[in-house]
Amino acid sequence: MAKKVLIIEDDKFLRKVLVRKISAEGYQIVEATDGEKGLKSVEEEKPDLVLLDLVLPEMNGFEVLAKIKKNPNHMISKIPVIVLSNLGEEKDIKKGLELGADDYLIKAYFTPGEILKKIENVLKK
């Protein structure tokens, strides 16, 4: 069965590029365009991995990440999360990793192909 990746990203263009690239490798994709929908999708879909933007409408990515990692249901709290953000300051990266992100990628520095490799590496752990 295909691994399921939840992409929580409000930028439509980037989301479509990521969906195309990741689904082409055989992954099942679930999309959410804001933090609240993203959190709801995590609980309903129980994806194998979450690709999470931080600057989101409704609820920011830091809040979403904290709620995933503090979820009493271990099936949810153990889901790996890769942050994909334009927030590249050291304090943001540190905060994301302290909240439990498995990796922190700055959008401008990674191609969709490199993002896919990061997803594959995290899912192999």
pTM: 0.96
pLDDT at 52 over 90: yes
- The predicted pLDDT at position 116 comes to 96
pLDDT at 94 over 90: yes
- CA–CA dist 42, 76 (Å, integer): 7
* Amino acid letter, 33: T
- The predicted pLDDT at position 51 comes to 98
Which string of DSSP letters, residue by residue, matches 17-33? HHHHHHHTTT-EEEEES
pLDDT at 84 over 90: yes
Name the CATH superfamily housing domain 4-124: Response regulator (3.40.50.2300)
